[in-house]
Amino acid sequence: MDLHKEVLHCLICSLLIYYLCLCEGNGPLCQLQRSVIPGIYKYGDMIIGGVFPVQRSRSTEDLSFTSNPDSTVCDGSFDFRSYRWIRGMIYAINEINRNEHLLPNFTLGYAIHDTCDNVAESVEKTFTLVTGSVKYTPNYQCQITPLLTTVIGESASGISIAMARILGTYHYPQVSYYSSLNVLSNKKEFPSFFRTIPSDTFQTTAFALLVAHLGWKWVGTLAEDNDYGHLGVQLFTEEVQKLGTCIAFSETIPLAFSKTRYEEIAATIKRSSATVIIVFSGDTNLLPLFWEVAKQNITGRTWLASEGWSTSAFVVAKDQAEYFSGALGLAIPVGHIAGLLEFLLQLNPMADPEDLYIKPFWEHAFGCSWTETKLQDNITLCTGHENLLTLNNVYTDVSQLRITCNVYNAVYAIANALNNILSSGNKKPAIEEIKPWQIIQSLKKVRFTDQAGKILYFDENGDPVAKYDILNWYIGEDGNLLYRKVGSYDASAAEDQRLTLDEQAIIWNDALQEPPRSQCSSSCKLGFRKSILQGQSMCCFDCIPCSEGEISNGSDFTECIKCPEDYWSNKNKDSCIPKDMDFLSFEEPLGITFSVLAVIGISQTLAVVVVFIKHIHTPIVRAHNIEMSFFLLFSLILCFLSSLTFIGKPSSGLCVLRQTVFGVSFALCISCVLVKTLVVILAFTMSKPNQNMMKYFKPSHQRAFVGLATLIQIAICVGLISSANLSIKKNRDAVITKIVLECNLELELVFLFAIGYIALLALPCFVLAFLARNLPDTFNETKFITFSLLLFVMVWVSFIPGYISTKGKYVTAVEIFAILSSAAGLLGCIFFPKYYIILLKPERNTRKNVTGHSSLVRM
């Protein structure tokens, strides 16, 4: 039955229009409609709809659902700022109607409604605009008003989403002036939605750059419990985490008043070490929370205000200003609308009776009442002659026009889109032929210049070019919070030039001269790196020093930098320095010690030579093969000298010299010892008649044997050296902090082969000397040769594990020690007993004492 009534009502309306024609705004039918449809109406050839949150909503307090809940109603509180937006829309439409170039011969009208900042009210007003009736039936239109072209609104993103779903279904374009939620850029879900305010995607990017620019690593977030708050915090979190900033806490601001919840949020803020807090919210829901922040005396916090409340005049009371001074916020750039102030001051309840919101405005602005029933002690009766110039509220403040300019530009965008449709093609369409979807297509292509000279257009997502002012809150002379521009963000600029900030102009909280610090842990200084604490955010860490060979030359390094191959970290581990070239030098204590020992060995050997020459005719010298003794002493001098070639900075020539001198000198030495041993054995064991073998081992043969043995060593050395790589090896593994200069490994093999050949000579010599140790001679030299070779073998056998286990220059030290100790052993064991008798026991230097019962063997 209700459906039939609606259809019948529409039919009657159509018949009345047909017979009475369209009224010009003064006929009885129009008056009837104005009384039926609440709002602000002005008729024209085309209508622009508008929805604004003039009054705030009040929901029923009875949540028990024991009875049918009352519908949401407006509670009577009045938003002067929103009402200024309405007047700005009306002013723009009047201005266009006077424009001879924009929509000539056509007039724009308007139908403006109050949503009470409530989704249910906005849905109802949207259907009213689409159907043309308060008692609407979806999908049925009883449109007695002119063509509805577009709807401007709403401010809250959640309300705009609800409206966009309805308007999108019927292909009506919607242009929002304040809804910034990023999901509204999705053209698949909201194909007819446009806006003159940037998407939150850009706002969160701007905030992330601001936080990174000021060096804040530890921030808290507060989100209004709706899509705007939650998605704003989500996008911001994703952006700042890319830049190394962490979220200390994240709290949700309830939409319904909850004292307990506000106390919990304030306690979280007070307990947290984060001194920077970003808030994504509208202004209304922040009031009770800010009261609680002031009540708990939470100071020393820097607040970052989203565009939804950064310019709100009533968020912070005068006595709370100290808690929020120093806040930074993003806002739409300030604009200017010429003549708007004069238009606002022309408002008169007597001259504008069609404006249903003018009387509530008047009552709230001047503290009066239009009805005597509401009169109280401090409330007088409104006369309509009150002077708007005496007002000191946001309605008459046109110094910071931001959202009002967005409304103004939305009207002009629609007018330009309509003008493009009406002026395109040879055959201009009639007004009644224009379809809403055509306006959508025209809005996508519209491009015009505003009063400030800026080119405005919508991108593929229906969004404008993102530009923000960065505002700084400070306490004015009267004690109230004021704000001023200290920077800007322009998404169309080059990436490194999008954010500009004048830090010197910022007034920080607590009279700080520089940005406050906000971090979970103090920055790690040079030479240290961050060690993330288990189970905590990456911004909470300990600072530990870099390992050896690694540096950190900046703050907050998560990993230390490994120095290049030939470099090492300095003492402070903040820079890499070239590694020292390490080798056994003559200047260091070990090199000096070995040098002194070698010189002593050479000196002692020369002393023996001198003593032997001086006492060459004594029995003890003549009894032990004088020629081979001098060859042996000469070879020992070479052995001691060869040790000196192992000291000093290695070079290819020095490496060749040390291997050659070492191998040849010890080959000569051991071959001489072997000859002496053979001579002794042959002299004592083959001394029977007709068994004298010495004639077959004459001195010439002895010299030949020594020469041959030495030549074989020389051949081995020359052969291996000629095929070896003569470059110097840089050993980086032996001593990690230094580069040890060593002879090439192939040259070291020459050293080992030389030792192997010397061992071949020493082994039979040792065996023969050991077997001849008991020959009947008072001063049997084979005993001393046995001891010397035993010491020689012990030294070089112990050299093997020492050589393998030692690294760096100490390998060279082991080699030198083996050379000096083995040479000293041969010198001491073979010659010092004779040396002792010659110098200290000359009475024993007789033939009898030397030979005992044996015959003296002249060698």
pLDDT in tens, 238-294: 999 888 888 999 999 998 888 999 999 999 999 998 999 999 998 888 889 999 999
Flag whether pLDDT at 600 surpasses 70.
Answer: yes
Alpha helices in 346-434 (DSSP H): 358-366, 403-423
What pLDDT shows up at residue 7?
44
**What's the mean pLDDT in 690-702?**
63
Answer for the pair 70, 10: CB distance below 8 angstroms, yes or no: no
State how far the Cα of 793 lies from the Cα of 659, in Å rounded to an integer.
19
Range with top average pLDDT, 32-36, 275-279, 785-789, 832-836:
275-279
Domains within the chain, CATH numbers bracketed: 35-59+72-195+337-457 (3.40.50.2300), 200-332+465-511 (3.40.50.2300), 528-578 (no CATH), 589-687+746-851 (1.20.1070.10)
Which amino acid is located at 91 in the chain? Y
Select from 108, 183, 113, 203 the least CA-distant residue to 154: 113
Whether residue 86 is predicted with pLDDT greater than 90 in this model: the reply is yes
Task: Name the band, by pLDDT with cuts 50, 70 and 90, for residue 343.
Answer: very high
Please provide the average confidence, as pLDDT, over all residues in the chain.
Answer: 82
Tokens representing residue 831 in the block: 């010659």
What count of other Cβ atoms lies within 10 Å of the Cβ of residue 169? 13
Does residue 853 register a pLDDT over 50? no
pLDDT band at 314 (very low <50, low <70, confident <90, very high): low
Tokens 């609440």 correspond to what residue?
38
Amino acid at 349: P
Rounded Cα–Cα distance for residues 221 and 227 (Å): 15
Which residues, in sequence order, are CB contacts of 698 under 8 Å at separation 6+? Answer: none
Residue 193 has pLDDT above 90, yes or no: yes
% of residues, the chain, pLDDT over 90: 25
pLDDT band at 829 (very low <50, low <70, confident <90, very high): confident
Q: How many other C-beta atoms can be found within 10 angstroms of the C-beta atom of residue 152? A: 28
Q: Can you spell out the DSSP letters for 453-498?
A: S-EEE--TTS----EEEEEEEEE-TTS-EEEEEEEEEETTS-GGGS
Q: What percent of the chain has pLDDT over 70?
A: 85
Q: Which residue has the tokens 């700042």?
A: 240
SS3 call for 397: coil
Residue 444: both structure tokens together: 């996508």
Tell me how far apart the alpha carbons of residues 516 and 575 are, in angstroms, rounded to a whole number: 30
- Using CA atoms, how far apart are residues 202 and 227, in angstroms rounded to an integer? 16
Where does the pLDDT of residue 720 fall: very low under 50, low under 70, confident under 90, or very high at 90 and above? confident
Q: What are phi and psi of 354, to 5 degrees?
A: -70, -20
The phi, psi pair for 146, rounded to 5°, reads: -60, 180
pLDDT band with cut points at 50, 70 and 90 for residue 689: low
Burial class from Cβ neighbours inside 10 Å (0-12, 13-18, 19+) for residue 561 reads middle
For residue 103, the 8-state DSSP code is S
Q: Is 678 helix (H, G, I), strand (E, B) or coil?
A: helix
* Alpha carbon of residue 632 to chain centroid: 73
Q: 811, 804 in Cβ contact below 8 A? A: no
Residue 71 pLDDT > 60, yes or no? no
Q: What gap in Å lies between CA 150 and CA 674, rounded to an integer?
A: 119
- Check if the beta carbon of residue 747 is closer than 8 Å to that of residue 656: yes
Reported residue count of the chain is 859
Query: Band of the pLDDT at 124, cuts 50, 70, 90?
Result: confident
Distances, alpha carbon 642 to alpha carbons 632, 667, 706, 747, in Å: 15, 13, 19, 15
Radius of gyration of the chain (CA): 53
6-15, 116-125, 784-793: lowest mean pLDDT where? 6-15
Assign 439 to helix, strand or coil: helix
Q: What is the pLDDT of residue 201?
A: 87
Residue 142 amino acid letter: C
Confidence of residue 377 (pLDDT cuts 50, 70, 90): low
Amino acid at 108: L
What torsion, rounded to 10 degrees, do the Cα atoms 632, 633, 639, 645 define? -140
Q: 857 pLDDT exceeds 60? A: no
Backbone angles phi, psi at 12, to 5 degrees: -60, -45
Amino acid letter, residue 700: S
Contact 475, 325 (CB under 8 A): yes
Q: Span 143-153, mean pLDDT?
A: 76
Whole-Å CA distances, 439 to 94, 147, 695, 783? 21, 12, 132, 122
Reduced to 3 states (helix: H, G, I; strand: E, B; else coil), residue 652 is helix
Residue type, 726: L
Predicted confidence at residue 36, as pLDDT, reads: 45
- Which segment of 4-8, 505-509, 694-698 scores lowest on mean pLDDT? 4-8
pLDDT exceeds cutoff 70 at 559: yes
- Is the pLDDT assigned to residue 346 strictly greater than 80? yes
Cis peptide before 565 (omega within 30 of 0): no
- Compute how many other C-beta atoms are within 10 angstroms of the C-beta atom of residue 392: 8
What pLDDT digit, counting tens, does each position of 438-486 carry? 999 999 999 988 777 788 899 999 999 889 999 999 988 888 888 899 9
Contact call for residues 552 and 561 (beta carbons, < 8 A): yes
Helix axes 157-169, 227-242, angle to 10 degrees: 110
In the predicted structure, residue 684 carries a pLDDT above the cut 70:
no
**Parallel/antiparallel/unpaired status of strands 467-475 and 728-731:** unpaired
Question: Which residues have a Cβ under 8 Å from the Cβ of 265 and sit 6 or more positions away?
Answer: 222, 251, 253, 289, 292
- Per DSSP, 401 falls in state B
H/E run at residue 213: helix 200-213
User: What pLDDT, on a 0 to 100 scale, did the predictor assign at position 444?
Assistant: 92
Q: What confidence tier does 707 reach under pLDDT thresholds 50, 70, 90?
A: confident
Average pLDDT of the segment spanning 72-88: 82
Q: What is the mean pLDDT of residues 679-690?
A: 62
pLDDT at 206: 92
Is residue 464 a contact partner of residue 456, using CB atoms and an 8 Å limit?
Answer: yes
DSSP letter at 447 equals: E
Confidence of residue 342 (pLDDT cuts 50, 70, 90): very high
* CB environment 684-709: b (16+ within 10 A), e (fewer): beeeeeeeeebeebeeeebeebbeeb
Count of beta carbons in the 10 Å neighbourhood of residue 483? 20
pLDDT digits (tens, 9 = 90+) for 473-517: 998 888 888 889 999 999 888 888 899 999 899 999 877 778 888
According to DSSP, the residues that pair with 470 across neighbouring strands are 330, 487
Token readout for 128 is 């009213």
User: What does the pLDDT look like over 611-664, one tens digit per residue?
Assistant: 888 888 787 777 667 788 888 888 889 999 988 988 988 888 888 888 888 888
Dihedral, CA atoms, 164, 168, 174, 180, nearest 10 degrees? Answer: 40
Backbone torsion region of residue 386, taken as left when φ is above 0, otherwise alpha when ψ lies between -120 and 50, otherwise beta: beta
Name the most confidently modeled range: 289-298, 368-377, 785-794.
Answer: 289-298
d(CA 409, CA 452): 11
Closest CA to 123 of 71, 75, 81, 77: 71
- In this prediction, residue 852 carries a pLDDT of 54
Residue 151: in which H helix or E strand, if any? strand 147-152
Statement: residue 37 has pLDDT above 70: no
